[in-house]
Chains A and B, each alone.
Chain A
């Protein structure tokens, strides 16, 4: 009998709850029982509350068990989990788990399925099909395919990726660059990390295609230093890709070259802003540049640069392989394709959910998430990272697409959702938004640098109960100013969490309604 394949994720979320110990326990137990097993360290499927999620390959498909602790391993062997037998931790076939089954996995089609560092596995699961097509057509045709897909930048701004590429393609230059923004600093987001750890070749393939499309032979991945595991995986993947002729002088034997480098950030949130990121790659302080010129004309080292997010680039291989219209068939309105939602915070079933645009916040929190982790009543969800809005229960039927979120005075950002139970105080959260902005501001523009600190002071006054209509007027004015006059989204969007908290949760601000205040005065 050949060895049974057992999958134990090596994603850092799984590792953070003991996946390595579980893998060791399985190997030890199998050896003691004299059973031949092959342990594959895959990425995560994204059902993070089930981590460490152990899967066993059976004739009928992969059967899931989780969350597995080292102490559970003996009993798994006892019941015969190697044949997919039932166990209190068992969930049946992985692909039949409703959380997973109801998703539309395009960007993440291979993540959690394959060995992240096996190019053979990657090829066997449809990898490189997009690149092969891209090598057979002209740069303009690649750009047209991406435009037809309707793909919009997944970093948060939502600018059409194809249009950006068309601009870079149209600029004549002896040197152009592709940069990948992997400075995933938003709290509540982990899609980039999950993909880089679980299916790094998809990102590499996407970057090569971007290089072919815009005429760049060099790419940089700017990775945040908080992701050491993703760093190791990327470096290893690039080494393998170079050995295999995927990267280097001749991409897959063609006449096109593409070299890829990884640069580590150093704990600065604002370096997720594309021009600050370019400065940081150049070895400088991560200070935002004034635009124009946009990076497409004058980007990294002053050269035309296609600057894209991990998710945008990692979606390109699927689009090239299946065609623009196939991707555009998902989604709604002007938000086409799929969104990788990251459900996090105080939530029972947190994880990554890739769905076509248009799913409501309620469906994600209630149907997928199963309510709060604490079991206490839901109070608020912050959508789109630290610069996103806090929504109350009454707005949970808002669909997740760029326009609908903007209409609700929020933003989609990088697709993160952080759920809070009834113990959260939204005035404190508003204060934190200013405090975070003060700590992370690059300092170039006054509204952000000074405004954030003034914001903390105003919030302190409000929280201390020194309530006067003037304080709230000042808060309003400050938010208007920061919105209108900041150089980038850091200062420009900090008012979003603040004002949404104030609008939807006025009680937390101990705000006395206007008529009562007048009577009191």
Chain B
């Protein structure tokens, strides 16, 4: 389970300094910041622009182009549900409707208690064992609504590792 540190401008600067000499450092910097803090604080954009000698617009443009990067803190657990064709063929949309109907969680949102963020993902490369989901970076195949219930209720289930 990811344990993010609270946003800290000094640590962020250190990360930028460490990576800024890489060729094409923008994405590696975003990834490193997000790994550390769970998101990339938009306030850091000018500093990245300065370090890489590019415009703020370019940094902002890159940050917002990619689906992966967040500019707000996510929930404590991140659940990504694959909704591409292979998972559609084995009923991933049933899981999505179940989340909405039984748990009132819509895709692309974080629960009010900040326990769970649910996102759409297109393909985890586990297409012969779908429906596939990714919970905190671990891929789980043959997912069903029971598994989703256990995740939403933080119940113990050997397939999803430690409980929340």
Contacts and interface: CB of A to CB of B under 8 A. Distances in A.
Contact of A283 (B62, B126, B137, B142): B62
> How big is the B interface, by class?
35 or more
B90 interface: yes
A421 interface: yes
A479 interface: no
B23 A418 contact: no
A382 B24 CA distance: 36
Contacts of B72: none
B123 interface: yes
Given A16-B141, A17-B142, A418-B86, A190 B125 contact: yes
Interface in A339-371: 342-347, 350-351
Given A13-B129, A48-B129, A416-B127, A286 B89 contact: no
A189 B27 CA distance: 25
B85 A432 contact: yes
Q: Which of A13, A374, A386 has the most CB of B within 10 A?
A: A13
Contacts of A227: 125
Contacts of A51: 129
A130 B116 CA distance: 49
A480 B61 CA distance: 31
Nearest to A301: B23
Contacts, number: 158
A235 to B, nearest CB: 13
A281 B86 CA distance: 28
Contacts of B107: none
Interface residues of A, number: 63
B130 interface: yes
Interface of A: 12-13, 15-18, 21, 48-49, 51, 70, 184-190, 192-193, 225-229, 263-269, 280-287, 301, 342-347, 350-351, 373-374, 382, 386, 416, 418-421, 424, 429, 432, 436, 440
Given A187-B86, A267-B66, 8 more contacts: A16-B132, A49-B129, A190-B128, A350-B127, A416-B86, A432-B85, A432-B88, A440-B122
Interface of B: 23-28, 30-31, 52, 58, 61-62, 65-69, 82, 84-90, 121-130, 132, 134, 137-142, 158-159
